[in-house]
Amino acid sequence: MKKIKYIVLLLSMMFMSYSCEKVLDKENLSGLAADNVWQDEAYVEAYISTLYHNLRGWEETYSGGYRIMDNIADEGRTCYASFTPNSILLPGLLTAEMEGQIHDMHYWWMYKEIRRCNEYFENMKNSELTGSNITRMNAEVQFLRAFHYFELVKRYGGVPLITKPQRLGDPDLYPKRNSVDECFDFIVKEFDEAAKKFEEAGVISTHNARASQGAALAFKARALLYYASPLFNPDNDIQRWKDAAAAAKAVMDLGVYSLDPDFSKILRRDNDEVIFKKEYKIHSNPDRWHRYDHGRSVAYLPLSQARSDAGYSYPVQEFVDAFRMANGLKITDPASGYDPKHPYVGREPRFYASVTYNGSVWRGETIWTYVGSGPNAISANPWTTNTGYFCRKNMKEDLPDDYFAWSSDDTPFPYMRYADVILMHAEAENEVNGPNADVIHDIQMIWDRAGITGSVPTGLSKDEMRQLIHDERYIELAFEEHRYWDLRRWKEAHTRLSGSKFHGMRITLDTLSVSPLVIDTVYTPVEVDVFVPNFPEYEYLMPIPHSEILANPNLVQNPGW
């Protein structure tokens, strides 16, 4: 009897193992299988959404808020001057091994995004999804892949063209570099194809952060302009300028874009000027940064309003001096009416929309930067302006009152504006035919919108017109990440960005006074750079990250690195 009881007990213990195979039947509860993704339009749409999200606009920074490229050319300087990457890029100390310190180098070598595009095409081959939405998405991915390849070529020259996702262990894991010509051919062809598909899908232009036929054509024009520029066109093959001019013209001929009448509000509202952009939200939670919050930081504002540091980017004197007078004359022209004792009077309207200076008003506060004036005074304190200016362009003035230190506003980042297309057309056309009526008409459009009362001078030589167009790009496209790259493609960086320190304006009052407006004010330019800027010629092509050269014996480093 008793023994039976024990045997029952023993058997009951054994029942436990009954469910054992289920123990190993486990899933990744937050994962989606590949089969589910590529047969479902909503998931494919989400996949593309992330591709857009990964583009970088204002957030091209290493701690959130300021753009490096604004501060290493001749536009502005930053409080992070003594920090990498500025302290390395500005004095020309970059080496290929420094990839850990140049926080962006891993992004510059952006094959991650290219692979995502390649995987899209690979997977969509086997997908049964069709329709105009799919055509549009195909166009978007093709556009984005070309966009990334252009960003690569603009930095490194020829790069490996990879159009299929590689598999681990494949021999093609170690690609060689394609030539510059092959790369530009590919990019142009891709933008063309994307433009056709967009047209098929009926997406001619957009007002949101999506690409369109117009965007594809405009980026094609930009690629062709770079290809025609001295950096990539040392023999000055005129056909390339012709192609660039024609490509820009094609965008203009679409007839869907126009200049916004108010220069200071281009990015602040929906208009037909912004061709491709990235959107942002206002950062509203000091405890948690959101992915969509990394727009323009309030640390660009004057110290009295920044609520913490105020030195993310402050314009240099050279930039301020580049603005014309409202009559269209340069300040160096004796007829311009420029008065060095009142340097901020009578300048063209874009100046007032781009720079906050001594005595200008921002958010209802008069900003004083003269020595001894208070928090906004020019200072060697790295956490405010060292030049006496603050950046105003594209900043949001009507911020909600409860913004906090390191907040950011919701200004979109403009990858492509119609003004750029017009200037591209003018630049290329001038190279092909000299300063003809088309060129003058282009520039006049820009001046008219800017509020310059004068007319674009006629009778200039081709070289003079080229200089005028370069200056125009400096002003019109400032702080939108063009200047540094323009100087490079014109091969002007090693002269413009080497040898002497850049300046700020130290403003002092002659006597103690109640208001600086009535008292004699003394303007003294002062050097602001910590290091002497230097742009070695080998820097015209960026170094391929050293680790990449080590990992791939087939890659040849750019000369000089």
Partner 1 sequence: MRMMAFLLLLSVFQAAARNSYSQNVKVTINMDDVTVGEVLNTIEAQSDYYFIFNQKLVDVDRKVSVHAQNKKVSKILDELFAGTDIRHMVMDRQIILSPKELLAENVRKTQQKYVVSGTVSDEKGEPLPGVNIMEKGTTNGTISGTDGSYTLQVSSQDAVLVFSFVGYKTQEVPVAGKKVVNVSLQPEAIGLDEVVTIGYGTKKKIHSAGSISTVTSTEIVKTPVSNMKDAIVGRTSGIIAVTPSGSPGTGAQIQIRGMSTLQNNSVLVLVDGVQRPFSQLDPNEIESITILKDGASAAIYGVKGGNGVILVTTKRGKLGKPRFSFNSYTGIQQVTRYPDLLNSYQYAVTNNQAYENMGLDPNDPANAGKFFTADQLAKFKSGEINTQFKDLVFKNNPVKMHYNLNVNGGSDKIRYFFSGGYLAQDGLIPNSSFNRYNLRSNVDATINKYFTVSINLDGRLEDKDSPSWGEGNIFSHMVRAIPTERAYDKNGKPLDILSPQPLEEAKNGGVNNWKTSVLNAQMNAVLDLGFVKPLEGLKAKFMYSYDQNVVVNKKYKKPYKVYVPDQNGMATEEVKWKGGARQLTQSNLNSHRYTLDLSLDYDRTFGKHHISGLFVYEQRENFNTYLVASRQGFISDIIQELFAGDPETATNNGWASEGGYLSYIGRLSYVYANKYIFDVSAREDASVLFPPDTRWGFFPSFAVAWRLSEEHFIKDNLSFVNNLKLRASYGMLGTDAGAGNFAYLEQYKLTYGALIDNRITTGLVKYVEPNKDITWEKVASFDLGLEGLFWNGLLGFDMAYFKKNTSDILAPKIISTPQTFGANLPPVNYAEVELKGFEMSLTHTNTIGEVRYSLAGNFTYSKNKVLQIDDPEDQLPHLVRKGKPLDFYVGYKTDGLFQSDQEAQDYYPQFGNNLVGGGDIKYIDRNGDKVIDNKDLDVISLYSYMPRVMFGMDMKLSWRNFDFSALFQGAAGRKIMLSGPARVMFQIGGNNFYTYLLDCWSPDNKDAKYPRAWRGNNINNDKDSDFWLRDGSYLRLKNLEIGYNFKSLVPNVDNLRLYFAAYNVFTIDKIKYFDPEVASGSGRYDVNANAQHNYTTWGTYYPQLKSYNIGVNITF
**Among 128, 235, 287, 401, which residue interacts with partner 1 (rule: CB under 8 A)?**
287
> What residues from 498 to 517 belong to the interface with partner 1 (CB under 8 A)?
506, 508
**Among 24, 335, 512, 514, which residue interacts with partner 1 (rule: CB under 8 A)?**
24
Tokens of 366: 């008069």
Closer CB to partner 1, 498 or 552, in the complex: 552
**Among 327, 366, 381, 444, which residue interacts with partner 1 (rule: CB under 8 A)?**
381
SS3 454: coil
> What residues from 521 to 550 belong to the interface with partner 1 (CB under 8 A)?
526, 532, 545, 547-548, 550
Q: How far is the CB of 546 from partner 1 (least distance, A)?
A: 8
**Among 68, 114, 146, 188, which residue interacts with partner 1 (rule: CB under 8 A)?**
114
**Are 265 and 392 contacting, i.e. CB atoms less than 8 angstroms apart?**
no
Residue 552 contacts partner 1 per CB under 8 A: yes
> What residues from 416 to 475 belong to the interface with partner 1 (CB under 8 A)?
none
Residue 19 contacts partner 1 per CB under 8 A: yes
**CA 520/CA 513 separation, integer angstroms:** 10
Q: How far is the CB of 109 from partner 1 (least distance, A)?
A: 6
Closer CB to partner 1, 55 or 445, in the complex: 55
Q: How far is the CB of 344 from partner 1 (least distance, A)?
A: 21
Rg over CA atoms, the chain: 28
Residue 1 contacts partner 1 per CB under 8 A: no
Stretch that binds partner 1, among 70-78, 281-289, 454-462, 477-485 (CB under 8 A): 281-289
**Are 387 and 371 contacting, i.e. CB atoms less than 8 angstroms apart?**
no
**CA 47/CA 55 separation, integer angstroms:** 13
**CA 392/CA 274 separation, integer angstroms:** 19
Q: CA dist 525 to 138, 342, 456, 546, Å?
A: 54, 14, 30, 40
**Are 421 and 343 contacting, i.e. CB atoms less than 8 angstroms apart?**
no
Q: How far is the CB of 363 from partner 1 (least distance, A)?
A: 18
Instruction: Give the N- to C-terminal CA distance of the chain in Å, as an integer.
Output: 90
Residue 23 contacts partner 1 per CB under 8 A: yes
Closer CB to partner 1, 460 or 509, in the complex: 509
Tokens of 408: 């950011």
Binding string, residues 71-90; x marks residues near partner 1 by CB under 8 A: --------x--xx---x---
> What residues from 397 to 416 belong to the interface with partner 1 (CB under 8 A)?
402, 404, 410
**Among 43, 437, 453, 556, which residue interacts with partner 1 (rule: CB under 8 A)?**
43
Residue 366 contacts partner 1 per CB under 8 A: no
Q: How far is the CB of 428 from partner 1 (least distance, A)?
A: 32
Residue 494 contacts partner 1 per CB under 8 A: no
Consecutive H or E run containing 506:
strand 503-509
Residue 66 contacts partner 1 per CB under 8 A: no
Closer CB to partner 1, 315 or 545, in the complex: 545
Stretch that binds partner 1, among 31-39, 184-192, 428-436, 465-473 (CB under 8 A): 31-39
> What residues from 201 to 260 belong to the interface with partner 1 (CB under 8 A)?
208-210
| Tokens 């591209």 sit on residue | 424
Q: How far is the CB of 186 from partner 1 (least distance, A)?
A: 15
| Tokens 């960005």 sit on residue | 497
**Are 348 and 450 contacting, i.e. CB atoms less than 8 angstroms apart?**
yes
**Among 29, 335, 512, 514, which residue interacts with partner 1 (rule: CB under 8 A)?**
29
Over the range 239-256, which residues count as b (16 or more CB within 10 Å of their CB) and which as e? ebbbbbbbbbbbbbebeb
Residue 179 contacts partner 1 per CB under 8 A: no
Q: CA dist 191 to 41, 118, 186, 217, 424, Å?
A: 24, 15, 9, 7, 17
**Among 150, 156, 184, 280, which residue interacts with partner 1 (rule: CB under 8 A)?**
280
Tokens of 35: 């089969």
Q: Which residues contact 525 (CB under 8 A, 6 or more apart)?
A: 317, 503, 504, 505, 506
90: β partners? none
Closer CB to partner 1, 132 or 404, in the complex: 404
The three state secondary structure string of 72-125 is: CCCCEECHHHHCCCHHHHCCCCCCHHHHHCCCCHHHHCCHHHHHHHHHHHHHHH
Closer CB to partner 1, 106 or 363, in the complex: 106
> What residues from 288 to 347 belong to the interface with partner 1 (CB under 8 A)?
288, 291-292, 309
Q: At CA 170, angle to CA 165 and CA 171, rounded to 5?
A: 115
The two beta strands, 355-356 and 390-391, are antiparallel
Stretch that binds partner 1, among 179-187, 238-246, 280-288, 483-491 (CB under 8 A): 280-288
Find, among 317, 324, 451, 312, the residue nearest to 395 by Cα: 312
Q: How far is the CB of 166 from partner 1 (least distance, A)?
A: 6
Residue 557 contacts partner 1 per CB under 8 A: no
Q: How many residues bind partner 1 (CB under 8 A)?
A: 103
**CA 478/CA 491 separation, integer angstroms:** 18
Residue 148 contacts partner 1 per CB under 8 A: no
**CA 357/CA 392 separation, integer angstroms:** 9
**Among 20, 335, 514, 518, which residue interacts with partner 1 (rule: CB under 8 A)?**
20
Q: How far is the CB of 287 from partner 1 (least distance, A)?
A: 6
Single-letter amino acid code for the residue at 134: I
**CA 346/CA 337 separation, integer angstroms:** 8
Residue 98 contacts partner 1 per CB under 8 A: yes
